[in-house]
Structure 1
Amino acid sequence: MKDMVQFGIRIRRLRQQNKYSLRELGERSGVSYSFINSIENNRFSPSRETVIALADALNSADKDELLLLAGFAPTEEEALDGPLGASHAVDVDDPEISLFFKDFKNAPKERRDEMLRFWHFIQEQQKTRNPDSEQ
C-alpha cells in the first residue's frame, strides 16, 4: 500500500543517517537533488527505478521496505540483491494481491523471506499455467 508521506520521511532519515546532502545523494543515485527534495516533501511519487536507485545509494536502506512504502511489491531477486526485474513490478493497490502484502512491511525479516518465497512460487506456477485451465 502506498504511503508516500512515510516514504519521504524514510528517505530523509536515511539520507541524514548517511550524512549525505541532497546533492550528494543525487550524485550517488543518479536522481536529481531537486527531485529527491520533492520526494522528501511529498510533492512527487518516484518510479520503481528511482526507488531502487535511492535504496542502492543509501547505506543500510532496506530496498524491500522502500519499494513497499512507494507502492511497489518487491521480487525475490531484489530481496536477495540479485538482478533487477522491472517486468516483475506489481501494483500493491491491486485488490487481488493487496491482502498478501498488507502486513509485509511490518513483518520480521524471516516472515518476509517466507512470504517472498511463496510469492515466487505463485509467479512460477502462473508461468506454466495453461490459460484454459482452472486455477
Structure 2
Amino acid sequence: MATFGQRLRKIRTDNNLTQKDFGILFKLSESAIGMYERDEREPPFKFANDIADHFDVDTDYLFGRTDIPKSRIVNSKDQTEFEAFINNPEHGIFFRDYLSAPEERREEMREIFKILQEKEKGRKPGDIQGES
C-alpha cells in the first residue's frame, strides 16, 4: 500500500499543483509539504481531513489503508427512503427481490436508486420522465 506522502504527492501532481501552490492552498510552507511527501513528518489530523475534503477522497485512501479514493457509503436516511420506496406496492414489482438479495447486490440497487433520484430532482407532475 502507498504511504501518506506518496498519496499526497499523487494528488498534488494530478491536480497540477507545485509544492508551493499546495502550501498556499493549505497555509503551509513548501518545506512542510516536502517533508509530508517524503514521509519525514506525520500530518496533523486537520490537514489530512482538509485534503480529503478539498480533493473529495477518503482519509483511509490518504493513509494507504485502501486503494479506493472514495468509498460508496449509503447513509441510514437513504436506506430508509429506499426501503419505503421498494415496499410501495406500485414499486415492489421491480424490487421484489431486494430484501432477500445478498448485501452486495442490495448496495448496488441502492446506488441505482440514488442515481434515479438525482435525475428526477425538480421534475414536476406531467413532465416527461428524465426531463425537468
TM-score (norm 1): 0.45
TM-score (norm 2): 0.45
Q: Which has the larger radius of gyration?
A: 2
